[in-house]
């Protein structure tokens, strides 16, 4: 199945929604940045195998759905509070995260002769169909029938991940290749590529360097043109979770943008001690995103990724809630090491069933002195064998 922003079986569910609607109608370098807490202050699994996979994999896809996704993603949404949906549940398919939706018999098309239709009625029908399809699409989580495959790092900082080692133009075929590797072994699920950007970098004493706005937007728009996603990750430092999340909220005006926080770096002594957040803070982060989307009339259901590789990184983790209507919380196992160690970390995270959607991070071999990486790098088949299967997978 092709790596595509819209999975074919998800389209079946959307088609059902549309049919029902018609019936009702009547038929940079790290150290050159500003310091602050917001935008205002500022195994063939190597690249060669991925590029080969990109060149040989099938590229058939649903042209209309891809075009719709790109059209929605390439422009910031208009802030119109009056259009915010607050009276009804927004998520139409909440139970289908990671599953392939089954076709429904409701709204089935009836075949047979139809009365003639004027050009005006035909145009009105076409517009209503497109509107219903677009609304159904934006009310369906990306992870309904899809996985996300992301490259992680900081633009312009080669020591901080693959995203900083290459330009976005150089990364594009590699990322697409890795997405196709996973798409070839994950059954009926689709794969959506993504850039996973370190937006707020923790410096000594917990200060935060914010990535330049022009750089952030260039990656968002580059990804949107391809139907890809962008995650913005804040390392927190000495700042609170609420303040850090608020600094990233304006970028949600782009429908392809999702957010992330990394408790490891919520510290005044980065690289010396591992930081932490509380379950209450994680709930508040989700509430802020949910409220911002509603208050500004922004479309879509967004992901919030939280990283964890030690139990202490999310204190009182049993209090975390993952049922916010406009937010899918993705609980991601971080940390480098042997496959056995990484499976152990993932199993520890998996026991926190109150955060059911899981993610997994892998580390390419690093040329940075003293840096660690996965030895050996797990193959896609091994990653997908984790229980539960991770839906967001990233490579640093």
pLDDT at residue 4 tops 60: no
pLDDT tens track for 158-187: 988 999 999 999 999 999 999 999 999 999
139 — pLDDT class (breaks 50, 70, 90): confident
- In angstroms, the CA 12 to CA 389 distance is 23
Q: For position 231, what pLDDT does the model report?
A: 98
Q: What is the pLDDT of residue 195?
A: 98
pLDDT of residue 67: 38
Contact 66, 227 (CB under 8 A): yes
Please choose, from the candidates 330, 380, 4, the residue with its C-alpha nearest in 3D space to the C-alpha of residue 193. Answer: 4
pLDDT at 90: 63
| Dihedral angle of Cα 136, 179, 97, 346, to the nearest 10 degrees | -160
**Average pLDDT for 10-28:** 38
pLDDT of residue 316: 93
Cα distances (Å, whole numbers) of residue 269 to 31, 158, 200, 255, 275: 17, 22, 16, 35, 9
Q: How far is residue 159 CA from its own chain's centroid?
A: 23
Residue 238: CB partners within 8 Å, gap ≥ 6?
A: 205, 206, 207, 208, 268
The stretch 346-369 carries a mean pLDDT of: 91
The pLDDT mean for the chain works out to 79
> Can you tell me the mean pLDDT for 199-224?
95
Cis peptide bond upstream of 376, omega within 30: yes
pLDDT-wise least confident of 81-85, 178-182, 295-299, 328-332: 81-85
Please state, in angstroms and as integers, the Cα–Cα distance from residue 174 to each residue in 61, 151, 177, 288, following that order. 19, 9, 5, 34
The whole-number pLDDT of residue 13 equals: 43
- Report DSSP letters for 274-300, one per residue: ---EEHHHHHHHHHHHHHHHHHTT--S
Q: Would you say residue 375 has pLDDT above 50? A: yes
Write down the H helix ranges in 160-201.
162-165, 168-183
316-350 pLDDT, tens per residue?
A: 999 999 989 999 999 999 989 999 999 999 999 99
Q: Is the dihedral of CA 142, 147, 151, 152 positive or negative?
A: positive
Band of pLDDT at residue 112, cut at 50, 70 and 90: low
Domain limits at 61?
1-396
Strands 190-202 and 208-210: antiparallel
pLDDT at position 93, please?
A: 52
Residues sharing a CB contact under 8 Å with residue 354, sequence separation 6 or more, in sequence order: 317, 318, 320, 321, 322
**Helix, coil or strand: residue 260:** strand
Percentage of residues of the chain with pLDDT beyond 90: 54
Residue 117's pLDDT is: 80
Overall number of domains in the chain: 1
Q: Which residue has the higher pLDDT, 273 or 76?
A: 273
Q: What integer pLDDT is reported at residue 98 of this predicted model?
A: 62
Q: Which of 3, 48, 5, 54 has the alpha carbon at shortest distance from 173? A: 54
How would you label 356-374 residue by residue, b for 16+ Cβ within 10 Å and e otherwise? bbbbbbbbbebeeeeeebb
CATH code for the domain in which residue 303 is found = 3.20.20
Whole-number Å distance between alpha carbons of 384 and 1: 16
The lowest-confidence range among 48-52, 287-291, 312-316 is 48-52
What pLDDT, on a 0 to 100 scale, did the predictor assign at position 91? 61
What are the backbone dihedrals phi and psi of residue 376, each rounded to the nearest 5 degrees, phi first? -80, 170
Q: What integer is the mean pLDDT of 204-218?
A: 94
pLDDT, residue 255, reads 95
**What is the predicted pLDDT for the residue at 361?**
96
Dist. CA 92–CA 10, nearest whole Å: 12
| CA gap 102, 265 in Å, rounded | 41
Per-residue pLDDT tens over the stretch 32-68: 343 344 433 333 444 444 444 444 433 333 333 343 3
Cβ–Cβ under 8 Å, residues 179 and 190: no
In terms of Cβ atoms closer than 10 Å to its own Cβ (0-12, 13-18, 19+), residue 143 is: buried
Burial of 122 (0-12, 13-18, 19+ CB in 10 A): exposed
Average confidence (pLDDT) over 231-260: 95
Residue pair 60/148 in contact by the 8 Å Cβ criterion: no
Instruction: Give the span between the Cα atoms of 132 and 68, in whole angstroms.
Output: 12
Residue that wins the pLDDT comparison between 121 and 18: 121
């Amino acid at each position: 199945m092709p790596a595509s922003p819209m999975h074919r079986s998800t389209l079946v569910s959307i088609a059902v929604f549309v049919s029902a609607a018609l019936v009702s109608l009547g038929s940079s370098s790290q150290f050159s940045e500003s310091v602050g807490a917001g935008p205002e202050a500022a195994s063939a699994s190597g690249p060669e195998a991925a590029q080969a996979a990109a060149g040989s994999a099938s590229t058939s896809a649903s042209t209309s759905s891809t075009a719709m996704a790109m059209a929605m993603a390439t422009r910031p949404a208009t802030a119109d509070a009056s259009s915010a949906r607050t009276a009804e549940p927004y998520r139409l398919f909440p139970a289908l995260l990671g599953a392939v939706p089954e076709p429904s018999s409701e709204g089935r098309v009836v075949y047979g002769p139809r009365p003639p239709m004027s050009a005006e009625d035909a145009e009105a029908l076409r517009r209503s169909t497109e509107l219903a399809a677009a609304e159904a699409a934006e009310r369906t989580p990306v992870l309904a029938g899809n996985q996300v495959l992301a490259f992680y790092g900081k633009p312009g900082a080669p020591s901080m991940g693959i995203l900083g080692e290459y330009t976005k133009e150089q990364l594009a075929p590699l990322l697409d290749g890795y997405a196709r590797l996973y798409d070839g072994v994950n059954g009926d699920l689709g794969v959506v590529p993504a850039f996973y950007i370190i937006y707020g970098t923790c410096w000594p004493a917990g200060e935060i360097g914010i990535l330049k706005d022009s750089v952030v937007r260039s990656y968002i728009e580059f990804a949107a043109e391809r139907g890809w996603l962008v995650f913005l990750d804040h390392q927190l430092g000495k700042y609170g979770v609420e303040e850090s999340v608020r600094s990233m909220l304006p970028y949600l005006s782009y429908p392809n943008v999702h957010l992330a926080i990394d408790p490891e770096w919520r510290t005044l002594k980065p690289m010396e001690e591992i930081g932490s957040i509380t379950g209450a803070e994680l709930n508040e982060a989700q509430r802020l995103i949910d409220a911002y989307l509603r208050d500004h009339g922004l479309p879509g259901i967004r992901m919030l990724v939280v990283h964890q590789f030690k139990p202490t990184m999310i204190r009182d983790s049993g209090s975390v809630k993952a049922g916010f209507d406009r937010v899918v919380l993705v609980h991601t196992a971080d940390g480098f090491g042997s496959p056995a160690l990484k499976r152990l970390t993932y199993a520890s995270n998996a026991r926190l069933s109150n955060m059911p959607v899981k993610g997994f991070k892998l580390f390419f071999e690093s040329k940075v002195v003293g840096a660690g990486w996965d030895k050996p790098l797990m193959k896609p088949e091994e990653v997908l064998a984790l229980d539960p299967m991770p839906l967001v997978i990233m490579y640093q």
